[in-house]
Structure 1
Amino acid sequence: MNINCLFDSGNIEVIEASDNNAVKLAIRDDSNSEFKQWFHFRLHGEIGKTYNFEIMNAKDCSYVDGWNDYQVAASYDGEFWFRVHTTFDADKRLTFSHQLEHSTIFFAYFEPYSYQRHLSLVHQAQHSELCQHQVLGQTVDGHDIDLLVIGDESRERKIWVTARQHPGETMAEWCAEGLIERLLNEDDALAQSLLQEAVFYIVPNMNIDGSIRGNLRSNAAGANLNREWQNPSLEKSPEVYHVRNKMKSTGVDAFLDLHGDEGLPYVFVAACEGIPSYDDRIKQLEEDFSAILKSINPDFQTEYGYDKDEPGKANLTVANAWVGEEFKCLSLTLEMPFKDNANLPDKQTGWSGDRSYLLGQTLLNPLYQLVKKLR
């Protein structure tokens, strides 16, 4: 038996591996941070044998409630990811077992989205005459911060989309991929009509360093990027620094920030009702966006979500609150589950990259219907 995580987004430590195929593991902390919950590793073993795993520090992870009703993701080929039976017991032990059908298997907190796939997405997108690839700057580790500009920049309305500020929330980049590929589909009448009214600025992965390092929530410097929007710095949070500067140069008429939530088994949005400039126009845009999305995609719902901020009490270090206040625009955080979607469960895959991708495509529908009201 061999366990390895020395690859893109790998994260695990082997505490003990016994002869009876019982394996005790620990999740490594984020870089320069105490956040932890993301894991991704590869097991090589014997076909037909059952391997039993226990994550010893599950009770010390950042979102302990996220383990309740959670099922580990697994894949033999890195393409199709399924869920394996997982328990989180009264002693706060996370355990899972699997009988090998092939000699090598991946296990992960959620279906990964690799850096190589990110690069392929960017490079394939630039082949379209509709798309221009820009590099806004470099991350702490020196990786490029990629921006895709889709549509004609002379369009009056500017729509921004960011994904994966928290690197372990890989469903966010799956969602961004779906949105990007629909926008670039020249046979899609809705997408092409939307591009007659607006230009899109899309950052498919805000946190490349954390993604490669196998972090849950932090960048290479240990910063939680979604708490850096008021005062970003080149030293600690260059990703936010450069994106924010670009936003100021283009303006923003609508903003979607794509995320995943550890605890809630639902797809939902968080709005910016707590910002000082919040008014009836923004409130109506938020309500209309949710109503339209709910009407065309049953994966989305409005019953469950975060508690609303009190008037004037929004945390302006958070992206959607800062953008909403700075640009007086529709500004939403879209959350997807790490677990299964309780409204439309799928026992085999749970919430998945495919579901996230399809959700991304349907995000264009409310934007299309509201685009003329954005300004």
Structure 2
Amino acid sequence: MSDIHVNAGFDGGNIRLIGIDGERVDLEIVNDHDSDFYQWFYFRVAGAKGRTLTLRIVNAGGSAYPFGWPGYEARASTDLAAWRMADTGYADGVLTITHAFDTDLAWFAYFAPYTMAMHEALIARIALEPGVAHRQIGTTLDGQGIDYLRIGTGAKQVWLYARQHPGESMAEWWMEGALDWLTSDAASDLLAKATVHVVPNMNPDGTRRGHLRTNAVGTNLNREWHAPSADKSPEVLCVRNLMDETGVDFALDVHGDEAIAANFIAGFEGIPSWTEAQGQKFTDFGDRLAAATPDFQTEKGYPKAKPGNANLSMSTNQLAERFGAVSVTLEMPFKDHDPNADPEFGWSGERSKRLAVSCLEVLTGMIDDL
């Protein structure tokens, strides 16, 4: 019997051990519950100190976005704080992580995790800040609360929400950076002109379960915004209902992208009510952000929808159409932001936090025009 132990039986964990043969460990990622989606992994290895192991995720080729594996490097940590890029390769449908263990324990993940324990600590800390109002606006199908924070008193209604896809953990790192800035003196100009509504984690159940893309019953929340329901997507239902009460002038939906090695935004081209004026404000946001930080660019991104072909089940399109909002999807990479690459950490939680500050500083500069 091997003295190497692999497990993912913790908050946000996901892996299945297939077998151990000497220095080779074969693994599988587990599907999201009631779904074909899988790609998020997060597990620990114990008992390998002094050995070099080859960790093989043998079902990587059948994952949701296999085209995202080439050029990708897994994240590894020995302290759950610093997550460095690991020696990773992809061939013949197998993702291989090679790691020399100099400690008794090491953790591996698709990206630096942001667990529900971390979420609870964030909410507890921010809710105590002056000027912050917290509400639980709904309950998930697993019985977890949907946390909502309101900051500011201005007339413009700004909505920030993240982690519809729970495996995109960089989105909640971004939220931590945003909330730290919003509760600092630096935010005073924005908060005098805007009320900022924040849902740091739209999908607590998927987060805790270690899902890539869905909630507890296999629902992709970002395909529910046209007709959310209490039995399939209560998370979207409670958020959209509150948006209907407040209105929305600007919305930012924070995500991660598996394949594109850059930060970029996606918009609402193709909505039935599209106007050039509304679209120009979206473009201005991206241009200003690219000018403000080397960690953003506007050349790479998703194809734009043709006129009249927007998918209104997606939040960015739905909110632009429903409210006439300047509605933005921010995508951050699981790989790195190649225009400003970091060979040790790649794109990271800390860089996600800094990008949030840049986004909000840019928003402050254009809030009067929304």
- TM-score of the superposed pair, with normalisation by structure 2: 0.98
2:279 to 278, 283, 305: 283
Q: Does 1:232 align with 2:211?
A: no
Q: Is the 8 A contact 1:131 1:149 kept in 2?
A: yes
1:65 aligns with 2:70: no
**Mapping of residues 156-305 of structure 1, within 5 Å:** 156-186=155-185, 188=186, 191-305=187-301
Supply the distance in 2 between the matched residues of 1:176 and 1:108 (Cα, whole angstroms): 20
Q: Is the 8 A contact 2:134 2:148 kept in 1?
A: yes
**Structure 2 counterpart of 1:15:** 18
| In 1, Cα distance between equivalents of 2:141 and 2:338 | 38
Q: Residue type of the partner of 1:55?
A: I
Tell me, what secondary structure is at the counterpart of 1:179? helix
Contact 1:229 1:322 in 2 (8 A): yes
The answer (yes or no) to whether the contact 2:58–2:93 under 8 Å persists in 1 is no
Aligned 8 A contact 1:72 1:96 in 2: yes
Instruction: Give the Cα–Cα distance (whole angstroms) in 1 for the partners of residues 290 and 311 of structure 2.
Output: 27
Cα distance, 1:212 vs. partner?
0.2
Partner SS for 1:202 = strand
Q: Is the 8 A contact 2:114 2:173 kept in 1?
A: yes
Indicate whether 1:53 and 2:52 are aligned.
no
Query: Within 1, Cα distance between the matches of 2:48 and 2:338?
Result: 35
Amino acid at match of 2:223: R
Residues in 2 aligned to 1:340 and 1:195: alpha-carbon distance in whole angstroms: 32
**For 1:51-100, what per-residue CA distance to the aligned partner results, in whole angstroms no more than 9, with x for missing partners?**
111111011000001101000101001000001111112x2221111011
Q: Distance in 1 between matches of 2:165 and 2:323?
A: 23
Instruction: Tell me, in whole angstroms, the C-alpha distance in 1 between the residues paired with 2:169 and 2:355.
Output: 14
SS at 2:190 equivalent = helix
Query: How far off its partner does 1:46 sit?
Result: 3.0
8 Å Cα contact 2:33/2:218 also seen in 1: yes
Q: Which residue of 1 aligns with 2:142?
A: 141
Amino acid at match of 1:332: V
Structure 1 residue corresponding to 2:302, chosen from 286, 306, 310: 306
Letter matched to residue 167 of structure 2: G
Preserved CA contact (<8 Å) 2:337 2:347: yes
CA displacement at 1:347 relative to structure 2: 1.5
- On the 8 A contact 1:41/1:108 being kept in 2, the answer is yes
| Counterpart AA for 1:139 | T
Q: Which amino acid letter does the alignment assign opposite residue 69 of structure 1?
A: G
One-letter identity of the residue aligned with 2:101:
L
Q: Is the 8 A contact 2:141 2:234 kept in 1?
A: yes
Which shows bigger deviation, 214-223 or 365-374?
Answer: 365-374
Please give the alpha-carbon distance, in whole angstroms, between the structure 1 residues aligned to 2:94 and 2:140.
36
Identity of aligned residues (%): 44
Alignment of 1:275-354 (within 5 A): 275-354=271-350
CA contact (8 A) 1:268 1:301 kept: yes
Displacement after TM superposition at 1:250 (Å): 0.5
Query: Relative to structure 2, which stretch is displaced further, 41-50 or 213-222?
Result: 41-50
Find the aligned partners of 1:92 and 1:12 in 2 and give their Cα distance: 16
Deviation per CA, 1:132-176, whole angstroms, max 9, x where unpaired? 111111011010000010112xx2110001100000000000011
> TM-score w.r.t. structure 1 length?
0.97
What CA deviation, in whole Å up to 9, does each residue of 1:224-258 have, x standing for no partner? 00000001100000000000000000000000000
Alpha-carbon offset, residue 283 of structure 1:
1.4
Confirm or deny: 8 A CA contact 2:13 2:42 kept in the other structure.
yes
Distance apart, 1:348 and its partner CA: 0.9
What is the CA–CA distance in structure 2 between the aligned matches of 1:345 and 1:298, rounded to whole Å? 10
Query: Whole-Å Cα distance in 2 between the matches of residues 343 and 65 of structure 1?
Result: 20
Structure 2 distance, partners of 1:347, 1:24, is 27
User: Which consecutive aligned stretches of 4+ in structure 1 deviate over 6 angstroms post-superposition?
Assistant: none
CA-atom RMSD, angstroms?
0.8
Which residue is 2:87 aligned to? 85
* 1:25-70 superposed Cα distances (whole Å, 9 cap, x missing partner): 0000001111000000010023211011111101100000110100
Q: In the alignment, which of 27, 30, 41 is matched to residue 28 of structure 1?
A: 30
CA distance in structure 2 between the aligned counterparts of 1:344 and 1:372, rounded to whole angstroms: 31
Distance in 2 between the 1:366 and 1:281 partners? 18
Structure 1 residue aligned with 2:367: 371
Does the 8 Å contact 1:48/1:99 carry over to 2? yes
Q: Does the CA-based 8 Å contact 2:62-2:93 persist in structure 1? A: no
Which of 35, 41, 44 is residue 43 of structure 2 equivalent to?
Answer: 41
1:54 maps to amino acid: R
Judge conservation of contact 1:267–1:300 (CA < 8 Å) in 2.
Answer: yes
List alignment gaps of at least 5 residues for structure 1. none
Q: Aligned partners of 2:14 and 2:68: how far apart in 1? A: 18
